[in-house]
Amino acid sequence: MFDLLIRGGTIATASDVFEADVAVKDGVIVQIGRDLGPSAETVGASGRYVLPGGIDSHVHISQPSGEGIVMADDFESGTRSALFGGNTTIMPFCLQRKGEGLRAALKDYHALAEGNCYTDVSFHMIVSDPSAQVLGQELPALVEDGYTSLKVFMTYEDLRLSDAQILGVLDTARRTGALVMVHCENEDAIRYLVGVHEAEGRVEPKSHATTRPIAAEREATHRALSLAEIVDTPLVIVHVSNRESMEEIERARRRGRKVIGETCPQYLMLTAEDLDGMDWEGAKFVCSPPPRDKESQVACWEGIERGVFDLYSSDHCPFRYEDDHGKLNPKGRENFRHIPNGIPGIETRLPILFSEGVMKGRIDLPRFVALTSTNHAKTYGLYPRKGTIAIGADADLAIWDPNETRTIRHADLHDASDYSPYEGLAITGWPTTIIRGGKVVLEAGELTEAARAGRYLERKRSPLAGPV
């Protein structure tokens, strides 16, 4: 007797598409075959796709932001929104503030997540203060404990690391088997351009894009890849926005480097023109790197299609728009420099790629699964427990109706922001039933009683980590 049977759907993994039933016992997949049963509970899936639940490995939730700025989502609203968008695991960032230890930051962050999650969660660290204690003791111990990835920044005054500091982090990562993600933008160049813009009185939201040009991202991408080469570590280049940065990734790969590339919906769907809205509306689209131009969109789609990108993540970083603690904070209403960086998108990530990618024939279903789930699990040490439909894997499944049409309206979404950057976008295909850990957690637009029981996931080391 199975606990749950998903009957008659079309299953897609990162390699295959086939029709079969999926049988679940004790939260894991125990059989895949035809005419399986009996089962205590059955979900009919004929005419629908049964896919591994989405894994969003780049998410910001309850992250301390600038003075007076508050992120819109906490774990409750952020993971709920993720679940409605077809995700069963998300990976938010635990921020180390300067002067703070990693353990202390983690303790606080776990307390925020505990008991409040609709998806499984696992944390990356953000290292902003790589002291001798952090690199010599805390980080190696945390990798042993399953915190096997971290992010470093080359921009943002309060987060950026010097090249020497980045080398120290990368070297520690190589020795301990951690995987490093890098935000690549040249802070000094940006600061210089901000000064020029302010001197000329150009302080509206669109200046966010012109003070963070492609060259600042391309240069930092090249530098990060060179630093990784110097100490012989793999690297994840996150939220890539343009062709020139993609070319840096490809060039490094041709030199034999292990590089994972990530892009996000904003670089496929938005442009810098969106930052030029009436009445400061452009603030809704302020994120870093900024959305670029049409050619960059085309380039990023090519990267999705031909494998420059391994990961497609949301970089969900939600701030409310009409809010003194959000985009329109008192200083942010006056000068783009004070508009918090980041946009919401955790619920719309998968439907956008399904609709614009699969339904428009740019990618096939296995590539969709790889980009949205399997590669995230493989990159960050969760595979094969997560990210696939296989015997022994957690029964985390999203059942998609490819015929469901919707128009994105923030009023229909479940995050705690007050807008969507994709308002009005027509979508074909939506995840209509979500199963997490073998339990139906979302059905016909309603959360079930089992929904709010997401677990924390300790991770193995990434198979990519270590010397190249």
Residues that bind Zn ion (CB under 5 A): 183, 315
287 binds, options Zn ion, ligand URP, none, Cβ within 5 to 8 A by partner type: ligand URP
* Residue among 19, 22, 23 nearest 1 (CA): 23
Task: Say which residues have a Cβ less than 8 Å from residue 240's Cβ, sequence separation at least 6.
Answer: 217, 221, 246, 249, 261, 262, 263, 267, 289, 300, 303, 308, 309
Indicate the residue among 342 and 437 with the shorter CB distance to ligand URP: 342
CA pair distance 147, 139, nearest whole angstrom: 9
Question: Which option in Zn ion, ligand URP, none does residue 292 bind, with CB closer than 5 to 8 A by kind?
Answer: none
Choice between 183 and 218, CB closer to Zn ion: 183
Among 341, 348, 372, 375, contact with ligand URP (rule: CB under 6 A): 341
Cα–Cα distance between 175 and 286 in angstroms, integer?
37
Nearest approach, Cβ of residue 228 and Zn ion (Å): 17
- Taking CB under 6 A as the rule, does residue 346 contact ligand URP? no
Q: Which two tokens stand for residue 391?
A: 């015997």
Cβ-closest residue to Zn ion?
183
What lies within 8 Å, CB to CB, of 225 at 6+ separation is 235, 237, 248, 249, 252, 257, 259
Q: Which is nearer to ligand URP, 249 or 317 (CB)?
A: 317
Kindly state the smallest distance separating residue 55's Cβ from Zn ion, in Å.
Answer: 15
Size of the site for ligand URP (CB under 6 A): 9
Neighbour count for residue 215 (Cβ, 10 Å): 12
Confirm if 434 and 53 have CB atoms less than 8 A apart.
yes
Q: DSSP for 353-393?
A: HIIIIITTTSS-HHHHHIIIIIHHHHHTT-TTTSSS--TTS
Do β-strands 235-237 and 49-52 pair in parallel, antiparallel, or remain unpaired? Answer: unpaired
Which one, 60 or 218, has the nearer CB to ligand URP?
60
**Among 5, 121, 142, 317, interactor with ligand URP by CB under 6 A:** 317
Kindly tell me which of 168 and 342 has the beta carbon lying closer to ligand URP: 342
In this complex, which beta carbon is closest to ligand URP, that of residue 9 or of residue 261?
Answer: 261
* CA 187/CA 461 separation, integer angstroms: 30
Q: Which residues contact 337 (CB under 8 A, 6 or more apart)?
A: 194, 198, 203
Structure tokens at 4: 């749950």
CB closer to Zn ion, 274 vs 315: 315
One residue of 88, 176, 186, 288 binding ligand URP per CB under 6 A: 288
Closest contact distance (angstroms) between CB of 155 and ligand URP is 8
Instruction: Tell me the C-alpha distance between 55 and 386, whole Å.
Output: 8
Q: Which is nearer to ligand URP, 29 or 159 (CB)?
A: 159
Q: Pattern of binders to ligand URP over 156-195, x per CB under 6 A? A: ---------------------------x------------
Longest dimension (CA), the chain: 73
Fill in the per-residue mask, 112 to 151: x = in contact with ligand URP (CB under 6 A), - = not in contact: ----------------------------------------
In the list 22, 53, 55, 60, the residue contacting ligand URP (rule: CB under 6 A) is 60
| Cβ at position 8, least distance to ligand URP in Å | 41
* Least separation in angstroms between CB 286 and ligand URP: 7
Number of helices (H) and strands (E), helices first, in the chain? Answer: 14, 18
Write out the residues near ligand URP by the rule CB under 6 A.
60, 183, 239, 287-288, 315, 317, 341-342
